[in-house]
Amino acid sequence: MSENAVSNWQRWLLKPSVLPLARIFVVLVCLSLVATDGWLIWTNRAIQLRDAEVETSNLASALARQATDTLKKADTVLISMVERLEYGGTGPAALSRLQLLMKQHVHALPELHGLFAYDRNGNWLASSFGTPPVGANNADREYFIYHRDHPNDHSVHIGLPVRSRTTGAWIIPVSRRFEDAQGNFLGVALAGVSIDYFQKFYATFDVRAHGSINLVMNSGELVVHSPFNEKLIGASIADGVIFRDLLPESPTGTQMLTSIVDKVERLYSYRQIQEFPLVSIAALARDDILADWRRDTVVQLTVVSLLAGLLGLFGFYLIRLIKQGLLAETELLATRDALRSFNQRLEKQALEDELTGLANRRRFMRTLEDEFARAARYQRPLALILFDVDYFKQYNDIYGHSAGDDCLRSVALAIRSGQKRPADLAARYGGEEFCLLLPETSSEGALQVAEQVRLAIEAQAIVHAGCPWMRLSLSAGVQVCVPNPEDGPEALIQAADKALYAAKAAGRDRVQLFDPNIAQFIG
Ligand SMILES: Nc1nc2c(ncn2[C@@H]2O[C@H](COP(=O)(O)OP(=O)(O)OP(=O)(O)O)[C@@H](O)[C@H]2O)c(=O)[nH]1
Categorize the per-residue pLDDT at 456 as very low, low, confident or very high, splitting at 50, 70 and 90. very high
Quick check: CB of 392 below 6 Å from ligand 1?
Answer: yes
Substitution site in 386, 432, 469 for ligand 1 pocket (most atoms within 8 Å of beta carbon): 432
Residues whose CB is less than 8 angstroms from the CB of residue 472 and which lie 6 or more positions away in sequence, other chains included: 389, 390, 395, 407, 411, 457, 460, 462, 463, 464
Query: Using CA positions, which residue lies closest to atom 13 of ligand 1?
Result: 393
Query: Using CA positions, which residue lies closest to atom 32 of ligand 1?
Result: 405
Each residue of 35-53: pLDDT tens digit?
Answer: 999 999 999 999 999 999 9
Categorize the per-residue pLDDT at 522 as very low, low, confident or very high, splitting at 50, 70 and 90. very low
Q: Delimit the domains of the chain by residue range.
A: 19-44+293-341, 45-289, 361-522
Q: Please report the atom of ligand 1 found closest to the CA of residue 402.
A: 1
Each residue of 332-391: pLDDT tens digit?
Answer: 999 999 999 998 888 888 899 999 999 999 999 999 999 999 999 999 999 999 999 999
* Whole-number Å distance between alpha carbons of 150 and 158: 14
Query: Using CA positions, which residue lies closest to atom 31 of ligand 1?
Result: 431
Q: Measured in angstroms, how far is the CA atom of residue 271 from the centroid of ligand 1?
A: 127
Q: Measured in angstroms, how far is the CA atom of residue 358 from the centroid of ligand 1?
A: 18
Specify the pLDDT at position 290.
Answer: 96
Residues whose CB is less than 8 angstroms from the CB of residue 168 and which lie 6 or more positions away in sequence, other chains included: none
Quick check: CB of 396 below 6 Å from ligand 1?
Answer: yes
What's the fold here for domain 361-522?
Alpha-Beta Plaits (3.30.70)
**CB 428, CB 434: distance < 8 Å:** yes
Q: Measured in angstroms, how far is the CA atom of residue 234 from the centroid of ligand 1?
A: 136
Q: Measured in angstroms, how far is the CA atom of residue 412 from the centroid of ligand 1?
A: 15
Query: Using CA positions, which residue lies closest to atom 28 of ligand 1?
Result: 393
Q: Measured in angstroms, how far is the CA atom of residue 388 from the centroid of ligand 1?
A: 9
Q: Measured in angstroms, how far is the CA atom of residue 485 from the centroid of ligand 1?
A: 35
Quick check: CB of 390 below 6 Å from ligand 1?
Answer: yes
State the DSSP H helix or E strand holding residue 141, giving kind and residue range, or none if neither.
none
Specify the pLDDT at position 6.
Answer: 64
Quick check: CB of 391 below 6 Å from ligand 1?
Answer: yes
The values of phi and psi at residue 310, to 5°, are -60, -45
Categorize the per-residue pLDDT at 449 as very low, low, confident or very high, splitting at 50, 70 and 90. very high
The whole-number average pLDDT for the span 426-441 is 97
| Low-confidence winner among 197-201, 226-230, 278-282 (lowest mean pLDDT) | 226-230
Query: Using CA positions, which residue lies closest to atom 4 of ligand 1?
Result: 431
Each residue of 81-135: pLDDT tens digit?
Answer: 999 999 999 999 999 999 999 999 999 999 999 999 999 999 999 999 998 888 9
Quick check: CB of 432 below 6 Å from ligand 1?
Answer: yes
Quick check: CB of 433 below 6 Å from ligand 1?
Answer: no
User: Residues 222, 227, 232, 234: what is their CA dihedral angle, to the nearest 10 degrees?
Assistant: 30
* Whole-number Å distance between alpha carbons of 353 and 369: 19
Quick check: CB of 406 below 6 Å from ligand 1?
Answer: no
Burial (CB count <10 Å: 0-12, 13-18, 19+), residue 378: exposed
Render 114-132 in DSSP notation, one character per residue. EEEEEETTSBEEEETTSSP
pTM of the model: 0.61
Q: Measured in angstroms, how far is the CA atom of residue 504 from the centroid of ligand 1?
A: 14
Q: Measured in angstroms, how far is the CA atom of residue 463 from the centroid of ligand 1?
A: 16
**CB 383, CB 480: distance < 8 Å:** yes
On whether the 45-289 domain is CATH 3.30.420.480, my answer is: no
Quick check: CB of 429 below 6 Å from ligand 1?
Answer: no
Q: Measured in angstroms, how far is the CA atom of residue 467 from the centroid of ligand 1?
A: 13
Quick check: CB of 353 below 6 Å from ligand 1?
Answer: no
Q: Could you tell me what percent of the chain has a pLDDT over 70?
A: 97
Query: Using CA positions, which residue lies closest to atom 6 of ligand 1?
Result: 431
State the DSSP H helix or E strand holding residue 302, giving kind and residue range, or none if neither.
helix 291-351
Query: Using CA positions, which residue lies closest to atom 29 of ligand 1?
Result: 393
Question: Does the pLDDT at position 228 exceed 60?
Answer: yes
Question: Does the pLDDT at position 67 exceed 50?
Answer: yes
Q: Please report the atom of ligand 1 found closest to the CA of residue 395.
A: 19
Each residue of 173-217: pLDDT tens digit?
Answer: 999 999 999 999 999 999 999 999 999 999 999 999 999 999 999
- Paired with 225 in beta bridges are 214
Query: Using CA positions, which residue lies closest to atom 26 of ligand 1?
Result: 393
Q: Please report the atom of ligand 1 found closest to the CA of residue 407.
A: 1
Specify the pLDDT at position 15.
Answer: 65
CB atoms within 10 A of CB 419: 18
Comparing C-alpha atoms, which of 429, 389, 436 is closest to residue 408?
Answer: 389
